[in-house]
Amino acid sequence: MWSVDEAIRLQEELSKQVIVADQFSDPVKYIAGTDVEYDKDTDLIAGSIVVLDYLTMETMEVATHCMEAAFPYIPGLFSFREMPPLLKAFEKLKIIPDIFICDAQGLAHQRRFGLACHFGVTINLPVIGCGKTRLYGEYEGLGIERGSIAPLMAQDNGQHIGNAVRTQKGINPVFVSVGHKISLETATGIVLRMSTRYRLPETTRIADHYGRLAMEAYKN
DNA sequence: GCGACAG
DNA sequence: ATCTTGTCGC
C-alpha cells in the first residue's frame, strides 16, 4: 500500500488534474450516488453505487463490493481508505452515469483533493463532493431557509473551495464542493435538486441503504 | 503544546 | 463509521 508521505505526494500531483468546469452531456440522464459502509466488529467495508434516472429519481442500477479495508482512517487521506471498494463497485456498473455524487469532500480539502476529486480524476467522469460535516474551509452567515448558501473559504489562501448548503429549513447544512468536471454552481444546484425531502440527496441515501444490505449479505 | 479532524 | 430510544422542541 501507500505510506502517508506517498499518499500526500500523490494527492499533490493528481490535484493538478481536477477540472472545475461543466463537462457532461447536456440533458443529464443518469445520476449516481456513492457511499461506503463499515462493519462495527471487523475490517470489512462495502462500497455502494446506485444509478438513478435524473428526472424521475427511479433506481436504475445498483453495484456493490465488499472487501477488507487496507488503509486507516486519516483525516485528509480519506480516499485511500474508501476508493478501493468504490472502484470495484464502479467496475460492475453497466450504466455509465453522467454525474456522481460522493458522500465526502472534493476541493474542500487541505490539499484540494478530497475523495470526490480522487474518484473523479481516476474514473475521468463528473463527480460532486457532498459531505455531511466540514473538513476544511470556513463559512459564516448561512441563512436558515432551504436553499440558503454560504461560501466555504480556505483558511490558507482565501480561495472559494465549496459551499455550505441548507437543503432543508432549520437543518444542518451539507458541504458541497467540486470533485471533477463540474462547476461549484452546477454542483450546488444538483445537490439541492436531489435533496427534495431530507437533508442528504436521495443518491446518498439510497447508496447507503444498498451498501448496508450488501454488508449484511456478505457476512452471511 | 493545544485543538481540529470527510467516513 | 459505530454504539442507540425516547424525547425535547417547533
CA A35, C1' B7: Å apart? 9
Whole-angstrom Cα distance, residue A210 to residue A48? 7
Strand C-proximal protein residues, Cβ less than 7 Å: A 37-38, 40, 132, 212
**d(Cα A66, Cα A62) in Å, to the nearest integer?**
14
Counting every residue written for chain A, the total comes to: 220
Domain assignment present for residue A138? The answer is no
Specify whether the CB–CB gap between A43 and A36 falls below 8 A.
Answer: no
Residue A158 resides in a domain: no
**Residue A11 covered by a domain:** yes
Structural domain count of chain A: 1
List phi, psi (to 5°) of A92: -85, -15
How does pLDDT run along chain A (220 residues), one tens digit per residue? 889 999 999 999 999 999 999 999 889 999 999 999 999 989 999 999 999 999 999 999 999 999 999 999 999 999 999 999 999 999 999 999 999 999 999 999 999 999 999 999 999 999 999 999 999 999 999 999 999 999 999 999 999 999 999 999 999 999 999 999 999 999 999 999 999 999 999 999 999 999 999 999 998 8
CATH number at A76 reads 3.30.2170.10
Nearest Cα to Cα of residue A179 among A104, A92, A110? A104
Closest to A118 in 3D by CA, of A2, A43, A17, A4: A17
Angle at A107 between CA A102 and CA A110, to 5 degrees: 115
Whether residue A151 is contained in a domain is answered as: no
Q: Report the candidate in A210, A217, A215 with the shortest Cα–Cα distance to residue A103.
A: A210
Task: Give the residue numbers spanning the domain of A23.
Answer: 4-127+176-219
Chain C nucleotides with an atom closer than 7 Å to a protein C-beta: 1-3
- Is residue A103 a known part of a binding site? yes
